[in-house]
Structure 1
Amino acid sequence: MTARSNAMAEERMEQLLHAQTEMQGRLSAMAEALAARQSELNRAVNQRLDGMSHKIGATLAEQTKSTHENLRNLQERLAVIDSAQNNIQSLAKDVVGLQAILSNKQTRGAFGQGRMEAIVADALPKGAYAFQAVLPNGTRPDCLIFMPNNAPPLVIDAKFPLEAWNSFREATQTEDRKLAGQQFRRDLDVHIRDISEKYLISGETQETAFLFVPSESIFAEIHEHFESVVQKAQRARVVIVSPSLLMLSIQVIQAILRDQRMREQAHLIQGEVAVLMEDLGRLDERVRKLQSHFLMAQKDVEQVLISSDKLNRRGAKIASLELEAGPQAPDPAPQERAVESRTGLLKLRVVDEE
């Protein structure tokens, strides 16, 4: 029993050892398979990671480029906005300066006078106008325009009551606007009366003076809301003019001055025309003499051609006689040659006469 048990135990041990060996072989095969699969998995993961890294890098590069482009465009737009802001600030300073000019009476008068002087100086030649000239009564108008034919000069005044006008324009309430309009009407009446009394001098100035308004809008508002003031100014022989009307009036005066200069230079023009007619008469006489010389030369040429034709015909006849002679005959007797020679001379003479 014991030996059998031992044999069975040994057999079982062998079986266990054999099973353990098989298990170890399978574990080794599984370990090798797992190692190969892990290697393939690592390689696939690395490839995927490399691809994703490349894509992420390209995406980041594109996003960086796009960000830089957007920042550059933003900087350009900021530069444009900065330039526009500087222009707006400069314009605001100019507006403030203009407001300061218009708020000061003296500088406001200089502003209106500057516009008036620019219009006059651009249209008229020097010597046809004068700024701040003194009249015989000691007054000093803003501009004098000298008229042709020793006529009295035309007076232009460039001052304007702008304070009352600004009050009238800025008034929002009906009562305030009415009071401001009354004040502007009084100031304008006083200014028109001053122009009429100071600058309209009989025999020294024109019977009409110009009151220059340096704005087309103010000129239109005056004619719309203050028609009575305009009529009063016309009765006082003061004409309210805007820049456009002043320019038109200056152009009319310019045409009158040009016409006067043409009349003054008429005698010089007539003298030049007389000299021109004399030169034209001499030219006609010389052309006719030259024409007679050409006619005589033409006749001489025709006569020369006639003589040349005659010579050509005679030469042709002589040449035809020589051709008709033919071969030489035997030498005749001296008496016969003399007769033939005389006959030949007679033939030549007859041909010449023909």
Structure 2
Amino acid sequence: MTELRSLQLAEGTESADSGIGDVDDLPLPQQITVSSITCDSFKISWSMDSRGRDRISHYFIDLNKKENVSCNKFKHKDVPTKLVAKAVPLPMTVRGHWFLSPRTEYTVAVQTAAKQPDGEYAVSQWSEIIEFCTADYSSVHLNQLLQKAEAISGRMLPFTVFYRNQQTDYFLPDRDAQCCHLLPTVKDNSGSNGSPISGKLEGIFFSCNTEFNTGKPPQDSPYGPHRFQIQADVLFNHNTNVYFGDFYCMYTSYHYVIVVLAPVGSTGDSFCKGRLPVLDRSNNRFLTRTEEVDGSLSFRHAQDVILEVIYTEPVDLSLGMVARISGHQLMSLSTANAKKDPSCKICNISVGR
């Protein structure tokens, strides 16, 4: 399939307008179809009347993020702001990480054009506007993100408990229909825009990071003054699959890695299979469970990233304990719906943020 090589037109309205003539009797693109959508590409095709088709030399494609449809569509008159392509057999592939982002809604319209001897273009009317949404990261892209995360994960530190901080009423006995259980909720849209877990995977966020000098969980938290903690082997055992979910930062030097713990055969496990890279329980760069020579279990987490763990099933509060922390609530460290820094070279890959 022929690939569209994208070209941004001039920003200045004078020079941009000089190459466009009046609407000609060129065929109008109709029945626009967008297919084979990925996180950074799509195929587009349409039908046209035969009259004037042999004159077509170029296609003009207006591609906009959907949230911008209320803005002026063009810089000046009928000058497209996005793409110019030579007329090629349809469907054509539009690909380019520098203008397409994952999981983003776009509008697209098409115009046929004939380049004149003087360098100007005769053009058709614009087609109808079609809306579509790009896809999540593929497994190839997630593995690229995984490799970047592995590169900065640092040495592993021991830990013994997973913990979750919340406001006081979160842990009250009547907080849900399944009294005394923490229940999975849909993950928010923080992190990489293309991560398949955002807004889709149901789970419970836990932490396991420890302070370097004490080896224990920190006493400060951005999420609340009460902490539920549970022994590591309750959530992370031989029947638990481990998946890599995301790698991101929020305009700071801190980097976050999300891993998913899903009991084998669970709903969460079924969701992750085929979507997320699976990690070896005892040999990965983020979160490990190892059986020692004496039969005891040891757990380790990466030192140089902030690990966020999603456990995909309900958790019985009676299996752990709730206590008030002695530190402060540092709300500025919250990652709720936090947007990823699109300029960071450490945690971004070439297909968008």
TM-score range, shorter chain: under 0.3
Q: TM-score, normalised by structure 1?
A: 0.19
Q: Which has the larger radius of gyration?
A: 1
Structure with bigger RCO (C-alpha 8 Å, 6+ apart): 2
Larger relative helix fraction: 1
Larger relative strand fraction: 2
